[in-house]
Structure 1
Amino acid sequence: MCQDFQVDIYFQQKWEDSRLRHNNTRRFLIKDPKLFSQIWHPDIYFANARTSSFHEVTQPNFLVWIYPNGTIWYDCRISLTVLCMQRLARYPLDSQKCDMRILSYIRMPDMKMGMIDKTTRMDEYATGIWSCAIATFHGHRELTHHILQSYIPTALIVFVSWFSFWLDVEAVPGRVSLSITTLLTLATQSSAARMSLPQASDVKAIDIWMGTCMTFVFLAMIEFTIVNYCTRRKNRRRRKKSVKGLSDQVHELVSQYKEKKNQLLQRNGTSCYEVAMLPADPESQEKIDRKQIRELNQAPPLYIKRNLLPTSKRKALEERISRVEENRKFAQAIDRNSRIYFPLTFGVFNILYWGYYLKFATDEY
């Protein structure tokens, strides 16, 4: 988008020159550019035009009528690129007012522009006060294009980012991929929308929309971070544990195994005999420990899980399972609330956004 507009106009002038009076009862036409160049005509120019050109295909597009009383009517076709400093605070919901300023080099304030009746004013320059005719063009921007190219795609990206609220709290790769993908896609969409705009310091309506959509996507990623933290949080009460060596832990495990094994055999009505042998050297004791550990590993899983655990460890395991389940329920509650509050907040934002820019905001010219 450039700060100018292009027009193709039929520029008409009318003036009187007593030297061109004639006795004919009818006007006559001049189409020769060389002949017209020998006739005096106002030195009119477009003050805020970047470029301008006459049309000469297939013949020079102009005509001159000379009336019997010396009145001259001049009509030509001109293409102009006119400067227009736009105010983009409401873009793309804005309307613009652009002026095309028409001045003369040689006429003073008493000059009267008969064919241009929109606006006239006096401008003061270093060479004096000059009259200026202003043709004002009002334009309203077509909103359908921007709705289809900017608003609907970005809103759909925001909706897609909310799909993570329906994924399982343990689906970390899926939720991370969805959040990052939607955030990057929205950033690309926002960058593409800004590339078509001129550099301006105004905070535009499209900037507020893109910024809000990106905020919602980013908040969805933050929500996942909070949910993931809640599922993994631990009890802050830290118990002091005695540090034991590897050999002490092995002996403790073996003794627990012997105790549970004897209890199980006595419950089944059989006797259990354990022969205590004092090893002659540490190597013999290590062999015995290894044999008992192999026997422990070959025991049934249910027996290992239920019967070999002492009461304290079984209680700690149950507390841990209970805490994990509680954390999971809390995280799922956050997801359920997000499914309601995120769409509700986005809907409120849309009501405020469209209501303000379509009903209350006005363009400042």
Structure 2
Amino acid sequence: MLSKVLPVLLGILLILQSRVEGPQTESKNEASSRDVVYGPQPQPLENQLLSEETKSTETETGRRVGKLPEASRILNTILSNYDHKLRPGIGEKPTVVTVEISVNSLGPLSILDMEYTIDIIFSQTWYDERLSYNDTFESLVLNGNVVSQLWIPDTFFRNSKRTHEHEITMPNQMVRIYKDGKVLYTIRMTIDAGCSLHMLRFPMDSHSCPLSFSSFSYPENEMIYKWENFKLEINEKNSWKLFQFDFTGVSNKTEIITTPVGDFMVMTIFFNVSRRFGYVAFQNYVPSSVTTMLSWVSFWIKTESAPARTSLGITSVLTMTTLGTFSRKNFPRVSYITALDFYIAICFVFCFCALLEFAVLNFLIYNQTKAHASPKLRHPRINSRAHARTRARSRACARQHQEAFVCQIVTTEGSDGEERPSCSAQQPPSPGSPEGPRSLCSKLACCEWCKGFKKYFCMVPDCEGSTWQQGRLCIHVYRLDNYSRVVFPVTFFFFNVLYWLVCLNL
């Protein structure tokens, strides 16, 4: 039974399957018969845009890939038979090198070491026919790794003390080769160069700091340097570290220096700077002037206040000594004096003279004169018997010698508190006494010694009330402070006027 049913069921399944697949195959065949198109089949718009972008990138990539092998081929060609040990035009003509300098920063300028620091970009241009080529490339830019394969001018800086080439992140060097054989070589470096400073007019001085360069091995007949209209680019926007100086400009000079190995062309740039006066004025001139004027306060202090006047004078002198030492602290040890040294020295002299004035006044008042309460006419005390003998001796002595009265200077205090001179009469000592003739002779000898001085000067009170001082300059000892109150400030004022006129007009 089962054997009869199974074949029937299999037949039914085959019939149903043939009916389901029949229409699908027919529709596929009809569609295929209807959509048969010869040539490129149309695509949707999005597919067209994608295909165009793909084609353009493929073409650009092809071009780039095409230029890179061409540039490599040019570089390999010009360097294949190139000898970097020989300069261009050797044996025919000198190599002309055009120089251009761009200053990144200038300073600081060290006065003590007499040197300055400068950061520059140094560019050199020359022609090398061996590097010329014919192609669509106008120029080839190469980094510092290729510099060793080319001939480079052996330029060195003659007055440099230290030179540093920057190498972060790569060596700061660049070579540009043009198709006509022109070569541009650029390098960045920091140089510590010497600068001879003439400090005679310090701090009103101006300096020209040179930067000299030349070829180390090629003389003038093989290498020539020149400026292209002296083009010097200065980047003033950068922070220059001149501090005490102002940059005033640049100048240049070209010269030929003769050496035992030949004549070399030397190019020199001068960086002109002038000192700013404000710092030195507040650090040196103002303290010196104030200290000098402070020493004049002693002229208004009483003569009896010796400790106050002495301490003020000594303090002023020591302060000027300290200021003079401080001004030379950060200064080169030159053998000549500067304008600032001269000013401080004159201020020191004024302070010392103010102290010396009190010493002279004190000596004249307390050592040359003897103070007395009041003038007296002194007579020796004698008894009646001796009085007759004294008269007889006096008459006998008067016949031989003229009678003389010795005027001894004593001081009395007036109503205004000022010491005034007065005179007291003394009888001369008797010739018989042991001190009489000798003391009289010593006084006469002293007067002869002072005769030359008193010929032109008369010092009150020694000559007050006399007639022989007419036509001479009278100097009142007790008014010496009054004279100093006027003479010192006026003299210092005229000194400052003359000093600044000379220093600012040199």
Q: TM-score, normalised by structure 2?
A: 0.52
Determine whether 1:28 maps to 2:140: yes
CA positional deviation for 1:320: 4.7
Given candidates 17, 39, 43, the residue that maps to 2:154 is 43
- Partners in 2 of 1:174 and 1:74 — Cα distance? 75
Determine whether 1:153 maps to 2:287: yes
Given candidates 65, 79, 83, the residue that maps to 2:176 is 65
- Partners in 1 of 2:317 and 2:410 — Cα distance? 39
* Residue in structure 2 matched with residue 224 of structure 1 by the alignment: 358
- Partners in 1 of 2:314 and 2:168 — Cα distance? 56
Q: TM-score, normalised by structure 1?
A: 0.71
CA positional deviation for 1:326: 2.9
Paired amino acid for 2:353: L
Determine whether 1:165 maps to 2:337: no
Determine whether 1:209 maps to 2:343: yes
* Residue in structure 2 matched with residue 339 of structure 1 by the alignment: 485
Q: Which runs of 5+ in 1 are unaligned?
A: 242-315
* Residue in structure 1 matched with residue 186 of structure 2 by the alignment: 75
Percent sequence identity is: 29
Q: Compared with structure 1, are the counterparts of its residues 95 and 141 closer, same or farther at alpha carbon in structure 2 (3 Å cutoff)?
A: same
8 Å CA contact 2:253–2:269 kept in 1: the answer is yes
Paired amino acid for 1:325: E
- Partners in 2 of 1:48 and 1:5 — Cα distance? 11
* Residue in structure 2 matched with residue 92 of structure 1 by the alignment: 203
* Residue in structure 2 matched with residue 351 of structure 1 by the alignment: 497
Paired amino acid for 1:229: F
Q: Deviations over 1:305-348 (max 9, x none)?
A: xxxxxxxxxxx999454599237995552112211111111111
- Partners in 1 of 2:411 and 2:320 — Cα distance? 41
Q: Compared with structure 1, are the counterparts of its residues 318 and 215 closer, same or farther at alpha carbon in structure 2 (3 Å cutoff)?
A: closer
CA positional deviation for 1:166: 1.3
CA positional deviation for 1:58: 3.6
Task: Classify the secondary structure of the residue corresponding to 2:226.
Answer: coil
- Partners in 2 of 1:201 and 1:235 — Cα distance? 48
8 Å CA contact 1:10–1:76 kept in 2: the answer is yes
* Residue in structure 2 matched with residue 107 of structure 1 by the alignment: 218
- Partners in 2 of 1:78 and 1:127 — Cα distance? 28
- Partners in 1 of 2:479 and 2:145 — Cα distance? 87
Q: Which runs of 5+ in 2 are unaligned?
A: 1-110, 231-251, 371-377, 379-406, 422-459, 462-475
- Partners in 2 of 1:96 and 1:39 — Cα distance? 39
- Partners in 2 of 1:153 and 1:24 — Cα distance? 73
- Partners in 2 of 1:320 and 1:347 — Cα distance? 36
- Partners in 2 of 1:355 and 1:317 — Cα distance? 52
Q: Deviations over 1:238-271 (max 9, x none)?
A: xxx9xxxxxxxxxxxxxxxxxxxxxxxxxxxxxx
- Partners in 2 of 1:341 and 1:151 — Cα distance? 21
Which aligned runs of 4 or more in structure 1 are off by greater than 6 angstroms? none
- Partners in 2 of 1:211 and 1:93 — Cα distance? 17
Given candidates 256, 270, 274, the residue that maps to 1:140 is 274
Q: Compared with structure 1, are the counterparts of its residues 322 and 40 closer, same or farther at alpha carbon in structure 2 (3 Å cutoff)?
A: same
As a proportion of its length, which structure holds more strand? 2
- Partners in 1 of 2:409 and 2:204 — Cα distance? 61
- Partners in 2 of 1:139 and 1:321 — Cα distance? 66
Q: Deviations over 1:135-174 (max 9, x none)?
A: 1121111111111111111111111111111111111111
8 Å CA contact 2:164–2:190 kept in 1: the answer is yes
CA positional deviation for 1:81: 1.2
Alignment RMSD: 2.9
* Residue in structure 2 matched with residue 325 of structure 1 by the alignment: 419
* Residue in structure 2 matched with residue 188 of structure 1 by the alignment: 322
